[in-house]
A and B are shown apart, each in its own frame.
Chain A
């Protein structure tokens, strides 16, 4: 079974402070990990994938297989980063599906 855990429901940080949204997963094979973001009154959208090893809007995430984690990080939070963030895992094979975590609401305050 595949499982994604986001331990924090809410993370509140000050503008300019570093951000780390935690994500841990459980999967027996080699998963694909994703971060999705949902801004207020908008639809869910893909933020980044671990495979692409990219930085999007200043956010990065490194897959740590030893710790089975895929934490999302940004060195300096901006007000516009306030949103709901979901970590998701997709297993391998043709029957693979996305399993989402319960989400963490990031609140960036002045």
Chain B
């Protein structure tokens, strides 16, 4: 079945550095992927919608220059957290739609980012 693979699952970085998170669709093409952020004991909050071959659509309040999204191919979207700070520490999750139903059915395993 269709799987979304997210890498890395955990990353610790120093304040001021950048971190790249990859989201790959395995065995299917994802023209649209979604990036979420989840704080402890809170819900998933949509950060941006990643569209293959075009610019990402960011939700209100999400800094475009801070969270760079690239969707250069039909199977890969990347989220780069630039100049990371401790407040960026969170759980980041990507997802893709089932093209047949249009439902967000496939989620990555998530990335735990800790900025020290």
Contact = CB atoms under 8 A, between A and B. Distances in A.
A9 B43 CA distance: 11
A102 B103 contact: no
A70 interface: no
B104 to A, nearest CB: 6
A46 B109 contact: no
Nearest to A44: B107
Interface residues of A, number: 18
Given A97-B49, A98-B34, A45 B44 contact: no
Contact of A101 (B43, B104, B105): B43
Contacts of B95: 44
A25 interface: no
B54 interface: no
A58 to B, nearest CB: 20
A46 B103 contact: yes
Given A86-B43, A103-B43, A98 B104 contact: yes
A97 B46 contact: yes
A41 to B, nearest CB: 9
Interface in B63-116: 93, 95, 101, 103-105, 107-110
